[in-house]
Amino acid sequence: MNVQLKADHVWFHYTDEEGNRTSDDVLKDVSLEIEKGSFTAVLGHNGSGKSTLARLMNGILVPGSGTVLVEGMDTRDEDLLYDIRRHVGMVFQNPDNQIVATIVEEDVAFGPENLGIDPAEIRRRVDDALRAVDMYDYRLHAPSQLSGGQKQRVAIAGIIAMRPDCIILDEPTAMLDPRGRREVMKTIRMLNREFGITVVLITHYMDEAVQADRVVVMDDGKIILDNVPQAVFTKPELLQAVGLDVPQAAELLQSLGEAGLPITVSAIDEASCVDAIMNLFA
């Protein structure tokens, strides 16, 4: 496996400027390897440590103990931080906090400008990035005129214009309406499938997590499940125990099983749910 991000026995608590502890242990012995080109969803209820893990993965925070490696680079080494940030882009929940310019294309150019890339190359990257997120026609608009989903796609364009190998998105759809969520999810899938960018998507939406290759479930600072979506979402009791929803198909099969039918929770989508029920009559 070609590992891009690696957390190895990471413990973390927050501290103030004097180094005094301001939180309990927020991550407790977390180990995780993210493969190059993969699409991983991270699920977990509020306070389970998802955002903290994301901030550790691009060197915004460093572990209390244990190590975080980005393409083999230790995030504790301050000389490597510039390189690490170039490899791993972050997209946050609120697009308004990420947009800095008053014209869409200037906003997208901001990241590559900071990397010191030459102007002709910036022009090319900005156009490519705006086309990739389907916002090219809006390149001269003011971000304030855009919908939430459009703003978030501009924020994503700003990251991909820096040509990262990996993007970590921390609940990027949490503030969007259903249409905005669909647009942003389509963009995220495209980045992964067509551009081969490694994606780590933090979300609390099941329907988003099922689109990933792998689902990591966090609870109370620990990773409690790590498997393909089909395996994670067919364990309704475990998900419910940590306060997460279950896909409707899995929930229906669970109820039928509890009502006495000889059925196991084997499906996370409607079509396979229908198959599972029809098999009872076969």
Residue 191, token pair as written in the block:
């980045």
**Residue 48 interacts with, from Mg ion, ligand ADP, none (CB under 5-8 Å by kind):** ligand ADP
Binding segment toward ligand ADP, per CB under 6 A, in 22-30, 95-103, 172-180, 185-193: 22-30
SS3 40: strand
Q: Taking the CB of residue 18, how many other CB atoms lie within 10 A of it?
A: 5
Figure out which of the listed residues 3, 31, 47, 240 binds ligand ADP, where binding follows CB under 6 A: 47
| Contact residue for ligand ADP among 44, 63, 164, 180 (CB under 6 A) | 44
Q: Say how many residues touch ligand ADP, by CB under 6 A.
A: 12
Under the binding rule (CB under 6 A), the answer on residue 243 touching ligand ADP is no
Query: From the CB of 49, what's the least distance to Mg ion, in Å?
Result: 8
Q: Give the span between the Cα atoms of 32 and 30, in whole angstroms.
A: 7
Stretch that binds Mg ion, among 28-36, 43-51, 138-146, 228-236 (CB under 5 A): 43-51
CB of 14 to ligand ADP, least distance (A): 3
Sequence-ordered alpha helix ranges (H) in the chain:
50-57, 81-87, 104-114, 119-132, 148-160, 178-193, 206-209, 229-232, 236-241, 248-258, 270-279
Q: Which two tokens stand for residue 143?
A: 């971000």
Closest approach, Cβ 16 to Mg ion, in A, equals: 20
- Examine residue 114 and tell whether it contacts ligand ADP (CB under 6 A): no
Single residue of 4, 40, 52, 203 touching ligand ADP by CB under 6 A: 52
CA distances from 218 to 45, 180, 271 (A): 8, 26, 28
Tokens of 142: 């003011």
Contact footprint for ligand ADP (CB under 6 A)? 14, 22-23, 26, 44, 46-52
